Amino acid sequence: MRRKSKRIICGDLIIGGDAPISIQSMTNTDTRDVEKTIEQIKNLESVGCQLVRVAVPDSEAAQSIVAIKKHTQIPVAADIHFDYRLAIEAIECGADKIRINPGNIGDSKHVEKIVKKAKERKIPIRIGVNSGSLEKIIINKYGGITAEGLVDSALKHILALEAMDFDDMVVSMKSSSVKMNYEAHKLIADKMQHPLHIGITESGSKNSGKIKSAVGIGALLLEGIGDTLRVSLTGDPLEEIYAAKEILRAAEIRNEGINIISCPTCGRCHVDLESISSKIEERIKGLNKNLTVAIMGCEVNGPGEAREADIGIACGKSKVLLFKNGEIIRTLNEDEAEEALIQEINEF
């Protein structure tokens, strides 16, 4: 069962409460390069990103939010470190949400000024606690960076904002350790009701990062924890959205996106199934259709799986059988399989 959380509004996106778990990403362009940032956000929107964060390291970046908002659709969150004035400027420039770690903003009077401005503009604040920037006092208290320390830090900041009569918060506690991340979320889940933004920080490249994120985010989702998520990967942020969708589908939370079943191949396979499968996966990863596609390597288990799927191929020694809705609809040569499958997927 999903953890009960408060409902907050961020632009036209609802986070928490009964709202579906949303997918976020962060641009890796220089926010001051408005044209490139807008282009990347539009690309993210087109594949299903629902909220995008931009780095705001200076005033020029904060001012760029005005133009970015004009030309994009999804809510824009401003990521601020250290300088409270940038948070205020980003809010004034139209940010739909800001992400701060009150610990590195420092002076509570400065945090109060940010909160006052967020209240005035009715925008939420994400309190983002990160294992890499945990306060020294907390590290000393727990003898290192620990799950308990992450929770202690997050609760301290939550209480501080609540004492300022501010409730419009999303909370994140990220660690690059999957285990610590899991333990911290389990500890905090019933200690407060603010929505949780989940993810594994600095998880790595497209390959290792996806595995860490799938384990870390997937474990939490199966516990009912998480209201919004980001898969953090080094590289193209579009990959984060594809991975997030796959994780939500694997956890049986969302069903849009194509479910590919492909066999591992063995000595019975006489075609280059790895190449067919990876090319097809690459070509369909942005598609939002809810269907299952089977890509199978031989005539032993292949026809059974291909028949069960919406669309499928079963490769034999010299021919490939193409299935749709449980029926064989064509017999193909190996070099025709990719295009024929893509055509059927597009038409389905």
272 binds ligand SF4 (CB under 6 A): no
Q: Which distant-in-sequence residues (6+ apart) come within 8 Å of 119 by Cβ?
A: 165, 166, 168
Stretch touching ligand SF4 by CB under 6 A, among 7-15, 61-69, 220-228, 264-272: 264-272
Question: For ligand SF4, which residue of 75, 128, 297, 316 counts as binding (CB under 6 A)?
Answer: 297
Q: Work out whether strand 13-15 and strand 76-79 pair parallel, antiparallel, or are unpaired.
A: unpaired
Amino acid at 305: E
270 binds ligand SF4 (CB under 6 A): no
269 binds ligand SF4 (CB under 6 A): yes
Smallest gap from Cβ 281 to ligand SF4, in A, equals 16
260 binds ligand SF4 (CB under 6 A): no
Helix residue ranges, H only, 164-228 = 178-188, 206-222
**Nearest-5° Cα angle at 79, 59 to 92:** 50
301 binds ligand SF4 (CB under 6 A): yes
Site string for ligand SF4, 137-156 (x = CB under 6 A): --------------------
Q: How many CA atoms lie within 13 A of 108 on its CB side?
A: 9
294 binds ligand SF4 (CB under 6 A): no
Of residues 31 and 277, the one with the C-beta less far from ligand SF4: 277
Of residues 251 and 332, the one with the C-beta less far from ligand SF4: 332
Question: For ligand SF4, which residue of 15, 26, 263, 311 counts as binding (CB under 6 A)?
Answer: 263
Smallest gap from Cβ 302 to ligand SF4, in A, equals 5
Smallest gap from Cβ 316 to ligand SF4, in A, equals 10
Instruction: Note the Cα 239 to chain centre separation in Å.
Output: 9
Give the 3-state secondary structure of residue 315.
strand
Question: For ligand SF4, which residue of 121, 268, 283, 289 counts as binding (CB under 6 A)?
Answer: 268
By CB under 6 A, how many residues form the interface with ligand SF4? 12
Smallest gap from Cβ 315 to ligand SF4, in A, equals 8
Smallest gap from Cβ 304 to ligand SF4, in A, equals 9
Question: What is residue 334's DSSP assignment?
Answer: G
Question: For ligand SF4, which residue of 143, 190, 252, 264 counts as binding (CB under 6 A)?
Answer: 264
Stretch touching ligand SF4 by CB under 6 A, among 98-106, 175-183, 218-226, 292-300: 292-300
Smallest gap from Cβ 215 to ligand SF4, in A, equals 25
Q: What part of residues 102-131 is at the interface with ligand SF4 (CB under 6 A)?
A: none
Q: Which distant-in-sequence residues (6+ apart) come within 8 Å of 68 by Cβ?
A: 31, 34, 37, 38, 41, 54, 76
End-to-end CA distance of the chain: 33
* Contact predicate 315/280, CB 8 Å: no
Q: Which two tokens stand for residue 273?
A: 């199934």
Instruction: Note the Cα 157 to chain centre separation in Å.
Output: 24
Q: Which distant-in-sequence residues (6+ apart) come within 8 Å of 231 by Cβ?
A: 199, 200, 203, 209, 210, 213, 217, 240, 241, 243, 244, 247
280 binds ligand SF4 (CB under 6 A): no
Helix residue ranges, H only, 48-177 = 59-71, 84-92, 102-105, 108-121, 136-142, 147-163
Stretch touching ligand SF4 by CB under 6 A, among 10-18, 74-82, 199-207, 293-301: 293-301
Residues lying near ligand SF4 in the complex (CB under 6 A)? 263-266, 268-269, 296-298, 300-302
